[in-house]
Amino acid sequence: HRKIEVVSPTRQRVMGVLFILLGLALVFFFTPGLTQDQTTTFGLSLATSQVQLPPWQVHTLSTLYGLAVVSAILGGIQLARGFGRYTNWMLGLVVGLFIFGFLVWAAAGKSLNLVGMLNTTLSRSVPITLGALSGILCERSGVVNIAIEGMMLTGAMVSALVGSLTQNAWIGLLAAIIAGALLALVHAVLSIKYKTNQIVSGTVINIFATGVTSYISAKFLQVNQALNNPPTFGGTPIPLLSEIPILGPVLFSNSIFVYVMFILLVILHIALFQTRWGLRLRAVGEHPKAADTLGIDVFKTRYMAVVLGGMVAGFAGGYFTLGSAGRFDEVMTAGRGFIGLAAMIFGNWNPFGAFGAGVLFGFADALASRLAILGIAIPSQFLLMAPYIATMIVLAGVIGRARPPAADGVPYEKE
Taking only the tens place, the pLDDT of each residue in 253-294 is: 889 999 999 999 999 999 999 999 999 999 999 999 999 999
**pLDDT (mean) for 222-239:** 91
**pLDDT (mean) for 39-61:** 86
β-strand pairing of 236-237 with 253-254: antiparallel
d(CA 63, CA 58): 7
d(CA 150, CA 144): 14
Contact predicate 282/305, CB 8 Å: no
Higher pLDDT, 137 or 11: 137
Q: How confident is the model at residue 82 (pLDDT cuts 50, 70, 90)?
A: confident
DSSP string, 129-145: HHHHHHHHHHHHTT---
Whether 295 shows a pLDDT value over 80: the answer reads yes
Reported as a single tens digit per residue, the pLDDT across 119-153 is 889 999 999 999 999 999 999 999 999 999 999 99
Reported as a single tens digit per residue, the pLDDT across 337-357 is 998 998 898 888 999 989 988
H or E element in which residue 43 lies: strand 39-43
Q: How confident is the model at residue 89 (pLDDT cuts 50, 70, 90)?
A: confident
Residues 6+ apart with CB under 8 A from 260: 315
The predicted structure's pLDDT at residue 3 = 43
Give the dihedral sign, CA 135/7/273/248: negative
Buried b (16+ CB within 10 A) or exposed e, 359-368: bbbbbbbbbb
Contact predicate 43/115, CB 8 Å: yes
Q: How confident is the model at residue 370 (pLDDT cuts 50, 70, 90)?
A: confident
DSSP string, 338-363: HHHHHHHHHTTT-HHHHHHHHHHHHH
DSSP 3-state of 330: coil
Q: How confident is the model at residue 395 (pLDDT cuts 50, 70, 90)?
A: low
Give the number of residues written for the chain.
Answer: 415
H or E element in which residue 67 lies: helix 60-80
**Which region among 180-194, 299-313, 371-385 has the lowest average model confidence (pLDDT)?**
371-385
**Which region among 22-31, 146-155, 299-308, 358-367 has the lowest average model confidence (pLDDT)?**
358-367
Contact predicate 306/143, CB 8 Å: yes
d(CA 148, CA 312): 9
The predicted structure's pLDDT at residue 1 = 41
pTM over 0.85: yes
d(CA 308, CA 303): 9
